[in-house]
Amino acid sequence: MAGADDIVRLRRLMLVKVPVGLGALLAVWLVAAGTPRYWQAWMVTGTFLVLVVSVGAFFLRTDPDFLTHRLQYREKEAAQRRIISGTTVFVAGWMLLPGFDARFGWSRVPALICLAGLALMLGAYAVVLWVFRTNRYASRIVEVQPGQTVIATGPYAIVRHPMYASQIVMFPALMIALGSWWGAALGVLIAIPLALRLRNEEEVLRRDLPGYDEYCRRVRYRLVPGIW
């Protein structure tokens, strides 16, 4: 149960830490771009600020326990820690790329395409919200929580890992919104650590979550219907 201290911490996160973190990311993009006129960075940062704060406020009011658990980040599985460590440097460099792309003009992405990328990113984020509303056990870390049951409705009736599936779309779309074809191309590679992560996650769920084997037999595809 989320206590009073948890509520205070969550409010501080939404009102202080999230804006400061996004402001730092915006500053990195603007410095890399060499100009404060990098409008795509302002657009993406503002969009994320509105989304994260509004969604956080909703769950703080309706289900603070979910929000508290969702913000855990210390992985218990050694395999997951290795995957995260192995991708950290790539992700850091990848997030810098759109700023340098804007500075040196490597990509020529029309404004309408940037807006389409933002719309695609929002569509992928909508799937994440669908996951949150369907499965209150959805977590950032790989574990089976007390009382957890297999969820086989909503997006889980289509693929076994709908949140990962949405991220495969979201990350390249983010780079298109930022005006970087090179960033979008490299963003496709995010599927590799996600595939490694979900394979280990399925081992944990098969081991610790009753009924997960049967669910896997009913829902055959992990990420992309009809493919994998």
Question: pLDDT of 34-73, one tens digit each?
Answer: 999 999 999 999 999 999 889 888 888 887 777 777 766 6
For residue range 64-88, list pLDDT tens digits in order.
Answer: 777 777 766 666 777 777 877 778 8
95-104, 161-170, 190-199: the lowest-pLDDT one: 190-199
- 200 burial (CB, 10 Å; 0-12 / 13-18 / 19+) is middle
Residues 6+ apart with CB under 8 A from 97: 175, 180, 182, 183, 186
Please give the pLDDT value at position 6: 64
Please give the pLDDT value at position 72: 65
Domain containing 128: what range? 4-218
Please give the pLDDT value at position 12: 80
Which of 200, 209, 169, 208 minimizes the C-alpha distance to 187?
A: 169
Name the E strands within 168-218. Answer: none
Domain membership flag for residue 227: no
Domain membership flag for residue 73: yes
pTM of the model: 0.87
For residue range 106-151, list pLDDT tens digits in order.
Answer: 999 999 999 999 999 999 999 999 998 898 877 777 777 777 889 8
Domain membership flag for residue 181: yes
Whether pLDDT at 1 is above 60: no
Please give the pLDDT value at position 177: 97
CATH number at residue 106: 1.20.120.1630
Res. 199 pLDDT band, cuts 50 70 90: confident
How many domains are contained in the chain?
Answer: 1
Whether pLDDT at 3 is above 60: no
Q: 38, 114 in Cβ contact below 8 A?
A: no
Domain membership flag for residue 225: no
Cα angle vertex 227, ends 221, 228, to 5°?
Answer: 45
Domain membership flag for residue 228: no
Domain membership flag for residue 211: yes
Please give the pLDDT value at position 2: 52
Domain membership flag for residue 28: yes
